[in-house]
Every structure is written in structure tokens, then in C-alpha cells.
Amino acid sequence: MEHPENDEMYKGLKVNKGISDAPTVNPYLTKRIQRKEYTPAEFVDGILKGNITILSQAVTLVESARPEHQQVAQEIIEKCLPYAGKSVRIGITGVPGAGKSTSIDAFGIHLLNQGHKLAVLAIDPSSERTKGSILGDKTRMEELSREKNAFIRPSPSAGSLGGVARKTRETIVLCEAAGFDAVFVETVGVGQSETAVHSMVDFFLLIQLAGTGDELQGIKRGIMEMADGIIINKADGDNIEKAKLAASQFRNALHLFPLADSGWTPKVLTYSGYYKLGIPEIWEMIDEYVAFTKNNGYFSHKRNEQAKYWMYESINETLRDTFYHNPAVEEMLVATEQQVLNNEISSFVAAKRMMDLFLHDLSKK
Ligand code: GDP
């Protein structure tokens, strides 16, 4: 319709026909918003076909705290289990700045070039506080994140370290069923998380730096003892000699440790993640370890031990959860704690009362 202000009687500016506003929401997003609800069987089918979108959605269910999601997730995991277990699982740790993301990018591209499919997962104990994970983030692994044979997933963020670790372990199962034959589990070398990672991988790599003068200081003995390989990063430019010196110091220190159950003597190598130097040698070391431990039976022994460990971990976690979420317990816990603080009852009597209350409540159900 012709605009009234274009009438002869108006001498102002001509008003043109308008255009409709561009949509403010990316129209392609609707595809994700209206995503299909898959049945567990469809999830499993998609995962086994290597469908990354379906794998990601299944991992989201694994990470979810909602009971209905957990139920579906457990069904998917169970059906995927027979197809899992065929990857080499590698734990990677190092303090912030050691070069984990740079190195994982370089290691990953090397593996993909050799025809492997790689999943990069992470356990980040700080992610609960920061409400977002600093590890396993796609933006940190620029090259790898563009590759279709790489699946990168940041650390699950909710729950205790045990809970986070369990989710990562379950995610490994799904990734393996989807055909990923190499799995990295990354963590920051600053706390308990190494133990959790160690309990789910075949080979544990510790990234170190040279050039601080006293290389061996500040590394917890426990982490050194867990390492199957210590790799000294940033062996480039002026730093090469320092890195070599640090390597020999580490080798000497490792001699003081008792021989590991695997029978394997940890190796110390130098490399540069940034300049991609010395990377094939790291993979030769890991291949050698896998061949060595498969030959002496330790590889499957360790996996069995880990499976057992996770069974008990899951039982413990379920028991704890059931106890603390029990209504009778919830009602009395704070008051009982107060009685302990008032010296009215001992901690042990308090604990026994709470347990009796819990067991009594369960028996009524
Ligand atoms: P992360 O915190 O352990 O993940 O460490 P980053 O991968 O983010 O690396 C920390 C810093 O070290 C970055 O500025 C990198 O560019 C640098 N860096 C990483 N690897 C190397 C290397 O091999 N040589 C040199 N010279 N710098 C590196």
C-alpha cells in the first residue's frame, strides 16, 4: 500500500517500503533445539556407527545428574561395553603452562596421520569452582579440533572428583565403542586428579619443563612414581641443552625408585610440542610399553584391577549418595552434628545413631 506520507500534500522525505527484520536467532540452531529424543537402542546404533553427534549426546546423558538421564546412560554404557576396551588409554599430566594443550595438539595430529581415531577427555578438579573446564577445551587444541577423527570433550563439571572421574571413565567406554582407538585423559598436575586418571589409563605420561634450575623440586614423589614416561617439553632453541640436562636428572632420580609392578622402567625423553620435534619417539615409547606389558600379562592385569577398583568406587559412591539423600538422615544430621559439637555424644555414637536411623528407614521400604 502506498504510504500516506508520500501524498502530494506532504513535502518531506519520501518514505520507502520497509524490509522485515533479520532473525535474531541463528536459524540453524533450531535443528539443535528440536533435537530428536533417541531411544537407548538408537543411541547404541549411532555410537557403533561412529556418529559423533549421537556420541556427544550420549556423553551429555552420562554427565547429567538427572536420574532419568542416568538410567538411559547406564543402559547405553552396558550395551556398548562389549565393543569397548580396544583403545590405548593414555593419561597426560603436567602443571599449567607445561604445554599440555600444545603437546596434545601435536601428538594428536601425529596419531591421526597414522590412521588412528583419537578422543581427548579431561578431568579437571577445579572445574566445579570455575563452572567451566579449562582442560579438554576445543579452543586450546586448534589443529585437532578441526579434524573429523578427533573427539574433544572438556571435563565434566559437576560433583566430587570421584563422580567426575567416573563419568570420564564411562565416556571412555562410549568413545571406544564409537571406534576411537586412542584415548587421552588430560589433567592438571596439581592434586588428587592424577590418581583418578591413573586408575583409568594404560600409560601415564608426565610432562615436565627444564630450565627452572631445580627440576626435581616441586614434583610430588607420588606423581613421579605413577609415570610410565616423563617427557620434557620445550626442548627447542636455547633450551635444548637444559632439557637434556633435566632428562638426565630425572633418569637418575627414577633409578632410586623400586621397579614398578609392570616390570617396565620409565623412560625420559625430550621434545618440543610447539615445533613438533621428537614426537614420533614418544609414540614409539608408548608402543613399546604396550607390547611389553601385553607380553608379560600386565596390560590385562591392570585393566582388570581398574575394573575392580571402579566397581568398588561406584558402590561406595552409591552408598554415600543414598545415605546422605535419605530423608530420615537429612532430617537428623545437623542436629546430631550439633550434639557432637556440644559434647553431648561422641562422634562414634553419633555415627552409629545415624546409621541405625538409615537402616531402620530402609527396612520400612
Ligand atoms: P598448558 O597450560 O599445559 O595446556 O600449556 P600450553 O599448551 O597452553 O602452553 C603454555 C605456553 O607454552 C604457551 O605459550 C605455548 O605456546 C608454550 N609452549 C608450549 N609448548 C612449547 C614448546 O614446545 N616450545 C616452546 N618454546 N614453547 C611452548
CA of 333 to the centre of ligand 1 (A): 48
CA of 99 to the centre of ligand 1 (A): 4
Task: Tell me the CB-side half-sphere exposure of residue 44, using CA atoms within 13 A.
Answer: 16
| Residues 278 and 344 grouped into a single domain | no
Q: What is the pLDDT of residue 97?
A: 85
pLDDT classification of 134: cutoffs 50, 70, 90: low
* Residue where a domain terminates, one of 19, 52, 82: 82
Q: Does any domain span residue 29?
A: no
Average pLDDT (50-79) is 93
* Residue where a domain terminates, one of 247, 278, 296: 296
Compute the distance between CA of residue 224 and CA of residue 205 in angstroms, rounded to an integer: 10
Q: Does any domain span residue 23?
A: no
Answer yes or no: is the C-beta of 100 below 6 A from any ligand 1 atom.
yes
Q: Does any domain span residue 6?
A: no
Cell numbers linked to 213: 634450575
Compute the distance between CA of residue 204 and CA of residue 224 in angstroms, rounded to an integer: 10
Q: What is the pLDDT of residue 357?
A: 96
Who has greater pLDDT, 200 or 220? 200
User: Which CATH number goes with the domain that contains 74?
Assistant: 1.20.5.170
Is the pLDDT confidence value at 262 over 90? Answer: yes
Is the pLDDT confidence value at 158 over 70? Answer: no
3-class SS of residue 100:
helix
From the CA of 239, give the closest atom in ligand 1: 26
pLDDT classification of 62: cutoffs 50, 70, 90: very high
Mean pLDDT of the chain: 86
Average pLDDT (155-167) is 78
Q: What is the pLDDT of residue 126?
A: 66
| Residues 69 and 200 grouped into a single domain | no
Q: What is the pLDDT of residue 90?
A: 97
| Residues 212 and 331 grouped into a single domain | no
Q: What is the pLDDT of residue 127?
A: 53
CA of 224 to the centre of ligand 1 (A): 21
Q: What percent of the chain has pLDDT over 90?
A: 62
The dihedrals phi and psi of 117, each to the nearest 5 degrees, come to -115, 130
User: Which CATH number goes with the domain that contains 228?
Assistant: 3.40.50.300
Q: What is the pLDDT of residue 266?
A: 95
pLDDT classification of 48: cutoffs 50, 70, 90: very high
- For atom 25 of ligand 1, which residue has the closest CA? 234
User: Domain of 46?
Assistant: 35-82
Is the pLDDT confidence value at 6 over 70? Answer: no
pLDDT classification of 129: cutoffs 50, 70, 90: very low
Answer yes or no: is the C-beta of 273 below 6 A from any ligand 1 atom.
yes
pLDDT classification of 13: cutoffs 50, 70, 90: low
Is the pLDDT confidence value at 206 over 60? Answer: yes
Whose CA is closest to 189, among 221, 235, 158? Answer: 221
Average pLDDT (60-85) is 93
Which of 92, 93, 102 has the most ligand 1 atoms within 8 A of CB, as the residue to mutate?
102
Q: Does any domain span residue 27?
A: no
pLDDT classification of 222: cutoffs 50, 70, 90: confident
- For atom 6 of ligand 1, which residue has the closest CA? 99
Digit-coded pLDDT (tens) for 232-258: 999 999 999 999 999 998 898 888 888
Q: Does any domain span residue 241?
A: yes
Task: Answer whether 161's CB lies under 8 Å from 193's CB.
Answer: yes
Digit-coded pLDDT (tens) for 31-40: 454 567 899 9
pLDDT classification of 118: cutoffs 50, 70, 90: very high
- For atom 24 of ligand 1, which residue has the closest CA? 234
* Residue where a domain terminates, one of 51, 82, 113: 82
State the pTM of this model.
0.82
Answer yes or no: is the C-beta of 98 below 6 A from any ligand 1 atom.
yes
The dihedrals phi and psi of 92, each to the nearest 5 degrees, come to -130, 125
Q: Does any domain span residue 107?
A: yes
Q: What is the pLDDT of residue 67?
A: 86
Q: Does any domain span residue 1?
A: no
Answer yes or no: is the C-beta of 97 below 6 A from any ligand 1 atom.
yes
Cα separations in angstroms, 288 against 248, 265, 283, 291, 343: 21, 11, 8, 5, 60
Digit-coded pLDDT (tens) for 263-284: 999 999 999 999 999 999 999 9
Q: State how many domains the chain has.
A: 3
pLDDT classification of 161: cutoffs 50, 70, 90: confident
Digit-coded pLDDT (tens) for 317-329: 889 989 999 999 9
pLDDT classification of 193: cutoffs 50, 70, 90: confident
Q: Does any domain span residue 210?
A: yes
Q: What is the pLDDT of residue 194?
A: 83
CA of 260 to the centre of ligand 1 (A): 30
Answer yes or no: is the C-beta of 102 below 6 A from any ligand 1 atom.
yes
Range with top average pLDDT, 9-18, 31-40, 124-133, 287-296:
287-296
Cell numbers linked to 42: 538408537
List beta partners, residue 151. 119
